[in-house]
Chains A and B, each alone.
Chain A
């Protein structure tokens, strides 16, 4: 169904010079800090230098982004890393083939609970203000258990999309503490821009979304961050650029130019000296429409954990470039696949692994960037980078990771929607 991974091996490392006609690339995005590379590529002329007119269209839901890419309203899209994987596996509504030649960096998520729930956890478990992600998860589990014993209704927690790092990370955190995300709490989907309002109104008790929405809730005094993405697993994938395989076939040169533009933009975004400018661009109403001061602190990884000014600085909270942040990574995709299996979205098979990994088009990344291409995420890192509960992920043994988890969906497996 897709181009073979070697289809572009004959393409020279850099697009041929001399063909500088402007070509229009329409790209959809969701207002999040991890759209930075795409936004900067359009705003700062990195795309124009490559002879591309990169038009950005802000959208309101991931399902829209998926459908508008599938039906050619978009040529490229800011996507959750699990979305191309789900697409290649034929999971979810309207699965049409999508692949990624470029990852938009790592990091950016966090889990925020309402101040009321957090205070409950402190009372229940004598939690200190500097407790780590695992201690917070265990305290949360105690609160959930005591609420259950008292006959209180289950807590409601928000994520952004069924095939999202947020869904898998929130579930990981919950299960690591001893909470079954499908039985002990209610997981619902909340659009990121309204998470703070939903938390304040008591419609949800916590959420896991991307920046800057966690910090917005904390600064408004309604939420408390209890875990960052880095605490759960520092190597976890986040957002990617999604393209249709048929678009790649028909627009090879444009795709290679787009990847060069994104690479330059990623390097620019990664330089802390540019973060004042980046924050200003992101803050614009057509982009994130969020306060520039908060965006500036988000980019620096400076977290206000609560409204009392408890600060925490997370090194590399956003990694826009470097350490394989842009190169599509098959091991990360296999981790996504493992979580789909763990939570009953997919079943395991060798063919499934191959289909999941077919979402990664690092061959295009290499073809576009040649000697400038980033090295693959060091495979030896996986063995020495544990999750918050001490487990590791061995890409060579997907099921070992699934089976090592005490809490997971047992019994039935959900069939994907019929694709054709």
Chain B
């Protein structure tokens, strides 16, 4: 089967390259990345893609919608639409934050693996980002707990272990996160000391 030309429009260049790699691994050799929408119509005519994959955070998505209207009016051979024959797949795509436009007449079984791959990689990317944010938050929390411990040690003459135990006990008593108690200690110290 002839390999398809896939245009990936994503302002997030890291995510775009992850998708590109996935598509190449799946045997699609013509994968083109676009991160800016400058000269979109001209580029699309040059590239002549079979499938366009675009991220939903992209405010320029409406430009694509318009383009397909205009190009139909001009009767250029790039009339595209989202394939509606598998709405479950489209729903998964929107959930993952990606959408696709497909050349009119392209068979479903050829498009599905491409979109499935894009969905999987978008989800994986979102998971990675979440983990990164979580890790960053955890680091922040550890920092603030360290500061609160230091304040308790110097102001109340506690050992490090006792300062930590006091923070943990207070958090349990007040049903709050330790980081929140630590934050109050730091805030209070900045006001009182």
| Chain A residues proximal to chain B, CB less than 8 Å | 60-64, 67-68, 71-73, 92-94, 159-162, 182, 187-191, 193-194, 344-345, 409, 412, 414-415, 417-420
A73 to B94, CA, bound (A): 9
With A60-B57, A67-B94, A68-B94 as contacts: A344 and B73 at CB distance below 8 Å: yes
Asked if A62 meets B69 with Cβ closer than 8 Å, knowing A71-B91, A94-B90, the reply is no
Inter-chain CA distance A414–B68, complex, in Å, is: 11
Q: Which B residues lie within 8 Å of A93 (CB)? A: 65, 68, 80-82, 101
A88 to chain B, nearest CB (A): 15
- A194 contacts B72, CB within 8 Å? no
Do A61 and B66 touch across chains, with their CB atoms under 8 A apart?
no
Contact (Cβ within 8 A) A412 B66: no
Measured between alpha carbons, how far is A188 from B75 in the docked complex, in Å? Answer: 17
A61-B69 contact, Cβ under 8 Å, with A93-B101, A94-B81: no
The residue that A63 contacts in the complex, of B62, B84, B87, with Cβ under 8 A, is: B62
A191-B60 contact in complex given A71-B95, A93-B81, C-beta closer than 8 Å: yes
Chain A nearest CB from B61 CB (Å) reads: 4
| The one of B59, B67, B99 that contacts A194, using a Cβ cutoff of 8 Å | B59
> In the complex the two chains form, is B68's CB within 8 Å of A412's CB?
no
Q: List 23 A-B contacts (CB under 8 A).
A: A60-B59, A61-B56, A61-B61, A63-B62, A63-B64, A72-B91, A93-B65, A93-B68, A93-B82, A94-B81, A94-B84, A94-B90, A159-B66, A161-B66, A162-B69, A182-B73, A191-B60, A191-B63, A344-B73, A345-B69, A409-B73, A414-B72, A418-B84
B26 within 8 A of A: no
**Residue in A64, A73, A94, A414 whose CB lies within 8 Å of B73:** A414
**Residues of chain A with a CB closer than 8 A to B87's CB:** 71
Measured CA separation A193–B57 after assembly (Å): 14
Contacts between the two chains (Cβ within 8 Å), count? 86
B82: chain A residues at CB < 8 Å are 93-94
Chain B interfacial residues counted at CB < 8 A: 29
**A92-B69, A344-B73 in contact; A161/B84 too (CB < 8 A)?**
no
Residues of B that sit less than 8 Å from A by CB: 56-70, 72-73, 75, 80-82, 84, 87, 90-91, 94-95, 99, 101
A62 to chain B, nearest CB (A): 5
A352 to B80, CA, bound (A): 23
CB distance from B118 to the nearest CB of A (A): 15
* B94 x A71 contact (CB < 8 A): yes
With A and B bound together, what is the CA distance between A182 and B66 in angstroms?
Answer: 13
Residues of chain B within 8 A (CB-CB) of A189 are 60, 62-63, 65-67
Q: Which of A61, A94, A409 contacts B62 (CB 8 A)?
A: A61
Closest 8 CB pairs of A and B: A417-B81, A191-B59, A189-B66, A60-B59, A61-B61, A162-B69, A189-B63, A71-B91
CB-nearest residue of chain A to B41 = A188
| Beta-carbon nearest neighbor of B65 in chain A | A63
Contacts A61-B58, A64-B56 given; indicate if A188 touches B69 (C-beta within 8 A): no
Chain B residues with CB below 8 A from A94, complex form: 81-82, 84, 90
- Distance A213 CA – B48 CA, assembled complex (angstroms): 34
Which residues of chain A are within 8 angstroms of B62 by Cβ–Cβ distance? 61-63, 160-161, 189, 191
- Residue of chain A at shortest CB distance from B38: A203
